[in-house]
Amino acid sequence: MFLSYGIMGIGLGIYSNTLEAWIVDSLNSREKVAILFSRQQTVNGIAGFLGNALASVLVFLYHKLNFPILMSGFITLSSIFIALFSRDNRGGKTTLPTLKIMKEGVKYILSKRPLLALLVSSIFMVFPLVAWMQFVSPYVVNILGFPQRYWGFILSAYFLTVALGGYINEKLLKRVNYRLITIFSVFLLSLFVLVLSIDNLTLVLLLLFGLSLIYPIRSSNIISWENELISSNYRATTLSSISFIIRIMYVLVPPLIGYLIDAYGYSITYITVGIFSLIGVIPLVIAYESGK
């Protein structure tokens, strides 16, 4: 199982950084980037809902948990053919050692104060995202008493909420600058995680739907902001470095959150994480002011 998670993590890391750089460099307009990533969140939410529903049906029919995993593997193979028949908009081919890529990426990040500020904010945001995504299920089911047999339906609904968040963000972009949307969404996400500390089942479920709305808004706009600050020649290298740093945080943070929950309980943990993550708004304000 851990081997499967490892393989999946490696594949997602390679895929996400390369695809993001490829998409941005293929667009002729900066204005299209934010809208495109909003639509990506909408598609991801709908596809996630359909995939979750399909997995439930397969398990119900065949009574084997590995069957949906096998099916997802075959579906993922289709990306190979898409990549083979898609035109690569990068003319030359270069190969650099991993450490050199990291060094160049970090050097570029440090040379751009607003980009460094975005990275710092993203590091702070790992804490509430981990506390929410990885630890909320046992909190809702084991502590707040939500029936486990219905929890899967709630998770499916969250996928549709993510799609709705992407749609809402696309409409917001027509009225509000995406940098301001990013700042406000990070503030709300941190605040909602903080309020999860109130052990009221109805309130927590509503907050979780709110988080599912805000998450795609924050994600698509922070990506757009990062890509605006990175020149085309450094895009893939810099995005890989940013992703590597954030993934290290995703390895380090869960044990810390788990320790806090074991030692102090869910309420204190969500209060602590929520207050701490609010600091992540400050670097975004600095980046926004620097870009004026």
pLDDT one-digit tens code per residue, 233-279: 888 788 888 888 998 999 899 999 999 999 999 999 999 999 999 99
**Residue 273 and residue 104: Cα distance in Å, rounded?**
32
Q: Which residue has the higher pLDDT, 105 or 129?
A: 129
pLDDT class for 5, splitting at 50, 70, 90? Answer: very low
- Write the DSSP string, 153-199: HHHHHHHHHHHHHHHHHHHHTTTS-HHHHHHHHHHHHHHHHHHTTS-
Domains held by the chain: number: 1
Record the pTM: 0.76
Please, which residues have CB within 8 angstroms of residue 19's CB and are 6 or more apart in sequence?
none
Decide: 27 and 235 in contact? Cβ < 8 Å: no
pLDDT one-digit tens code per residue, 31-54: 565 666 566 666 666 766 676 667
Name the most confidently modeled range: 25-29, 62-66, 148-152, 205-209: 205-209
Domain extent, residue 178, equals 2-91+98-290
Left (φ > 0), alpha (ψ -120 to 50) or beta: where does 183 sit?
Answer: alpha
Q: What CATH number should be reported for the domain holding residue 264?
A: 1.20.1250.20
User: What pLDDT score was predicted for residue 157?
Assistant: 84
Closest CA to 186 of 257, 123, 249, 115: 123
pLDDT class for 284, splitting at 50, 70, 90? Answer: very high
User: What pLDDT score was predicted for residue 27?
Assistant: 56
User: What pLDDT score was predicted for residue 91?
Assistant: 42
Is the predicted pLDDT of residue 172 greater than 80, yes or no?
yes
